[in-house]
Amino acid sequence: MAVERTLCIIKPDAVEKKKAGAILQMLEAAGFTIVACKRTHLTRPVAEGFYAVHKARPFFGELVEFMTRSPVFVAVLERDNAVAKYREVMGATDPAKADANTIRKLHGASVGENAVHGSDSLDNARIEIGYFFPASEVAPVA
Ligand code: CMP
């Protein structure tokens, strides 16, 4: 199976609850290598740009408000089949519907405040990684 990279955002709710370390630990235990990771407070334009695909959705304003509320951790995760595997470890968007022991079941509170974001495809993973990290910060090990 191919080695892939995917983007993870540990959202403001989880960072506020001091769960960033616990979430990164779950990801390492699930076989991901954390290739890059930074703590940053998203500005409104950065959050709006990242979620531009959802601009027409009724929850867009709420989503941007939430994502800019306090700092997040943005991380690049690597392993075989990373996109699908991370979506499995992350759990369903709505924590109430997420499987037991997934990140969102353990740490999410609602469909809006759901602890983490993950890329939904390999193409979007490339775009999302490029949105937050210059190529020099995510270069493969020489
Ligand atoms: P995420 O994976 O970050 O991608 C888009 C986000 O929109 C999603 O997780 C949810 O947190 C959020 N979202 C989806 N549906 C709703 C909703 N009905 N109300 C508020 N936020 C939502």
The answer to the question of residue 100 being in a domain is yes
CATH of the domain at 64: 3.30.70.141
Nearest Cα to Cα of residue 119 among 56, 76, 67: 76
- Give the per-residue pLDDT at 27: 98
Residue numbers of the domain that contains 40: 3-134
The answer to the question of residue 140 being in a domain is no
Q: What is the mean pLDDT of the chain?
A: 97
Reply yes or no on whether the pLDDT at 141 is more than 80: no
pTM equals: 0.97
The answer to the question of residue 37 being in a domain is yes
Nearest Cα to Cα of residue 137 among 11, 32, 38: 38
The answer to the question of residue 141 being in a domain is no
The answer to the question of residue 34 being in a domain is yes
The answer to the question of residue 142 being in a domain is no
pLDDT digits (tens, 9 = 90+) for 14-50: 999 999 999 999 999 999 999 999 999 999 999 999 9
The count of domains in the chain is 1
- Give the per-residue pLDDT at 139: 82
Residue 56's pLDDT band (cuts 50, 70, 90) = very high
Assess whether the C-beta atom of 114 lies below 6 angstroms from ligand 1.
yes
Assess whether the C-beta atom of 106 lies below 6 angstroms from ligand 1.
no
Q: Give the residue-averaged pLDDT of 82-95.
A: 98
Q: How far is the CA of 139 from the centre of ligand 1 (A)?
A: 30
Radius of gyration over every alpha carbon of the chain, rounded to an integer in angstroms: 14
Assess whether the C-beta atom of 59 lies below 6 angstroms from ligand 1.
yes
Q: Is 77 exposed, middle or buried (0-12, 13-18, 19+ CB in 10 A)?
A: buried
For a ligand 1 pocket test, name from 6, 7, 57, 63 the mutation site with the most ligand atoms within 8 angstroms of its C-beta: 63
**Positions marked catalytic:** 117
Q: Give the residue-averaged pLDDT of 110-122.
A: 98
- Give the per-residue pLDDT at 78: 97
The answer to the question of residue 80 being in a domain is yes
Give the percent of the chain with pLDDT over 90: 96
Nearest ligand 1 atom, CA 114: 11
Distance CA 11, CA 70 (A): 9
Residue 9's pLDDT band (cuts 50, 70, 90) = very high
